[in-house]
Amino acid sequence: MKNIDKIDFVMIWVDGNDPEWQKEKNKYDSSDEKGDSTVVRYRSWDNLQYWFRGVEKFAPWVNKIHFVTWGHLPPWLNKNHPKLNIVNHKDYIPEKYLPTFNANTIELNFHRIEGLAEQFVYFNDDMFITDYVRPEDFFRGGRPMDTYSLDCIFFGKKSAGFFNGNDIELININFDKRKCMKRDFMKWYSLKNGLKRVIKTNALNMWPWFPGIYYNHLPSNFLKDTFVRVWEKEEETLDNTCKDKFRTKSNCNQWLMKFWQLAEGTPVPRSTKIGRCFHIKDNIWDKALSSIENGRYRLICINDTIYTKDFELQKQQVINAFDKLLPEKSEFEI
């Protein structure tokens, strides 16, 4: 393999069944009104070991895995694996924000993780590698790979529209859309983004501001320096977000960093065909399971939703599918 710069993976995980974690969470919130209070945000699919198996088999080149948790760990985890860095919230999140149950706070402070490489890929715990990937699928020439596409913001029940809108507000404050589009015309109109995305970008390009930017629910490729610079420019806004113990509608989130990179023209265009997100509310459950079993996509997300009808059944089906693709233990398991 040719010489490459270091690329780290960052994964955040919470054990929603941990009674000590539940006890601390309930000290700060006893309602069901905030987005991070719903059971969907924390219930366990018991499939984390397949994430590590996928990394070991399909991305053995990864430099380091930064496994971020509240403090609990799965009992099967090999804590002594040389590539594993176990990160407690208190190890990198400023004390004034702790304890936090706000995913936005956990994500917006990644640049503070000690030893984190300049290039890193961020995974939620529902995002998996299911076929062989190369470093160049994530970064090329020190630039992150991403999809350039304008989009409309969706505001719906339990959606992330509010965060998206807050992120785009900051993008429009800091960037002139017309100048960005002119400077990086070949990136925004590259067919690597997909014909559908190019057509949508063209249709939305008549407005002088960013109406929204496409976000695919797959692992995100970041430069640590982006976080540092955005904090320097928008410290007050990010500070206010991180002070909230739970996600609230006034928050921005880590998509801001992604959108910032795109507005700057930093990423290299990448095909959306690298992966797919299956929302459990979608009427394509059988296709999702077969895609896991067959490794149809290099990256896949199995996204839990409030519309999941039979959680225990679907959880077991996902485990069975992953076990067909990745039946052997990894060195990350005891």
- Our count of domains for the chain comes to 1
Q: Give the mean model confidence (pLDDT) for residues 10-26.
A: 90
The predicted-structure confidence for 264-321, as pLDDT tens digits, reads as follows 999 999 988 899 999 876 677 889 999 999 999 999 999 877 666 777 888 899 999 9
Q: Domain for residue 1, yes or no?
A: no
pTM above 0.85, yes or no: yes
Compute the mean pLDDT over every residue in the chain, rounded to the nearest whole number. Answer: 92
The predicted-structure confidence for 46-70, as pLDDT tens digits, reads as follows 899 999 999 999 999 999 999 999 9
The predicted-structure confidence for 217-241, as pLDDT tens digits, reads as follows 899 999 999 999 999 999 999 999 9
The DSSP secondary structure of 224-243, one letter per residue, reads: HHHHHHHHHHSHHHHHHHHH
CB-CB contact of 248 with 104 (8 Å):
no
Per the structure block, which two tokens stand in for 23?
């006890």
Q: Domain for residue 284, yes or no?
A: yes
Q: Please report the pLDDT score of residue 65 as a whole number.
A: 98
Amino acid at 293: E
Dist. CA 276–CA 46, nearest whole Å: 21
Per the structure block, which two tokens stand in for 282?
């979608």
Residues 6+ apart with CB under 8 A from 172: 209, 210
Dist. CA 181–CA 147, nearest whole Å: 14
- pLDDT of 245 > 90? The answer is yes
Q: Please report the pLDDT score of residue 40 as a whole number.
A: 56
Dist. CA 111–CA 94, nearest whole Å: 12
Q: Residue 138: give the domain boundaries.
A: 7-325
Q: Exposure string (b/e) for 226-264, b if CB count within 10 Å is 16 or more?
A: bbeebbeebeebbeebbebbbbbeebbbbbbbbbbbbbb
Dist. CA 154–CA 232, nearest whole Å: 29
- pLDDT of 172 > 90? The answer is yes
- pLDDT of 180 > 50? The answer is yes
Q: Domain for residue 330, yes or no?
A: no
CB-CB contact of 68 with 100 (8 Å):
no
pLDDT band, residue 2 (cuts 50/70/90): very low
Q: Domain for residue 240, yes or no?
A: yes
Q: Please report the pLDDT score of residue 38 as a whole number.
A: 54
Q: Domain for residue 178, yes or no?
A: yes
Where residue 57 sits, what CATH number does that domain have?
A: 3.90.550
Longest dimension (CA), the chain: 56
The larger pLDDT score, comparing residue 215 to residue 29, is at 215
Q: Which residue has the tokens 């992953």?
A: 322
Q: Domain for residue 334, yes or no?
A: no
Give the three-state DSSP class for 86: strand
Q: Please report the pLDDT score of residue 1 as a whole number.
A: 34
CA dihedral over 206, 208, 211, 216, signed as positive or negative: positive
